[in-house]
Amino acid sequence: MKIGFVSERRFGEPRIAVMPSMIDRYRRIGIEVVVERGIGEHMGLADGAFQEAGAEPADPGTVPEVCQVLARLRAPSDEEISAIPAGTLHISFLDPFSETERIARMAAQGITAVSMQMIPRSTYAQKMDALSSQANLGGYVAVILGAARSARIMPMMTTPAGTIKPMAVLVIGVGVAGLQAIATARRLGARVSAFDTRPVVEEQVKSLGAKFVKIDIGETGQTQDGYAKELTPEQLRMQREGMTKVCAQSDMIITTAQVFGRPAPRIITADMVAAMRPGTVVVDMAVESGGNVEGSRKDAEVDEKGVIILGHANLPGRVPVDASTMYAMNVFHLVQEFWDADAKTIRLDAGNKIIEACLATRDGAVLSKRPE
């Protein structure tokens, strides 16, 4: 069996699904690796690095023809879908709830599609959990970008000329990205506060040396996979009222709140932005799913009367070497989990909880179900 990896640089995606260090691991379990020429050149990885590790090079566009498994970052384009042979196992991030037509085309093409977003949040599956591994890096990058754009330094400094107060950072949404943002901002010396609708994360926030902001919005909670439940319109109104004062006292605000399978909640309104101090930097990490901040724009910087709103998409892609390394490990662990060494094939057994969760198409049918 052969697994193929393609470059998506032409689509603006700098990450790749394989690194030279992973190729020998595939070969040791009996899988040959095919890599598109030039796949890592933008990261300083020459084709020779992949070939020396044991990968077979292939010209662009030819990888699907010779591989039974195809792994990448993004969903394939319509043109690429038509070039993928029926029966191919396709592994990538897919958005089965927003791009229903694309998923339907993959099903009609006879492609068996695995969505890396749908890997369940469990202890057993965490080594395959690409959503978490990439969100972790995204939280780090968000703080670095915000710090670079701010006119202030993050740590407290005591000098003969006087004392500079630490930057006040507010993180909204304490998932994987939020926790990393808190930890990174704390390591840089900031005074950090954090808010989440799930009271259960308070201890995690405090363990990182941050203050947990409490706002009474009634009963909240999380799904069985650990995602925040969607708030009612009244709860969102109460949350915004409580957040206005906290935001007005912050120098940097990082929003990470997302509801799995649904548009991101609008947490910061235009009125809240207007109440912020000039010079405040807001990083909207949810901009790709609709945005938490009113006025944020994808891949753009907005200056709203001195308040800087950063809407950079694909934050993990700004550190492509480490992001690719982590994603490549996630993909390998997924393949290894279902590899049948005796039959030399990948078995996607129905009834397996991981497969039930992440399989988007199979045998011409669309299988994805929106989470409750």
Please answer whether residues 25 and 81 qualify as being in contact, where contact means their C-beta atoms are separated by less than 8 angstroms. no
Cα 365 to chain centroid distance, Å, stands at 27
Token pair 């439940």 is found at 229
C-alpha–C-alpha distance, residues 228 and 211, integer Å: 20
Please answer whether residues 328 and 22 qualify as being in contact, where contact means their C-beta atoms are separated by less than 8 angstroms. yes
Residue of 109, 132, 296, 324 marked active site: 132
Residue of 121, 191, 240, 362 marked active site: 121
C-alpha–C-alpha distance, residues 7 and 120, integer Å: 27
Please answer whether residues 101 and 80 qualify as being in contact, where contact means their C-beta atoms are separated by less than 8 angstroms. no
DSSP label at residue 330: H
- Catalytic-residue membership of 327: no
Q: Which amino acid is at 54?
A: G
- Catalytic-residue membership of 124: no
Residue of 26, 92, 129, 235 marked active site: 129
- Catalytic-residue membership of 129: yes
**Which residues are registered as beta bridge partners of 170?**
193, 253
- Catalytic-residue membership of 126: yes
- Buried residues in 124-157 as b, exposed as e (16+ CB within 10 A): ebeebbbbbbbbbbbbbbbbbbbbeebebebeee
**Helix (H) or strand (E) run with residue 9 in it:** none
Reduce the DSSP state of residue 84 to 3 states and report it. coil
Residue of 68, 98, 122, 126 marked active site: 126
C-alpha–C-alpha distance, residues 6 and 17, integer Å: 8
- Catalytic-residue membership of 132: yes
Residue of 68, 122, 150, 227 marked active site: 227
User: Could you list the active site residues?
Assistant: 121, 126, 129, 132, 227
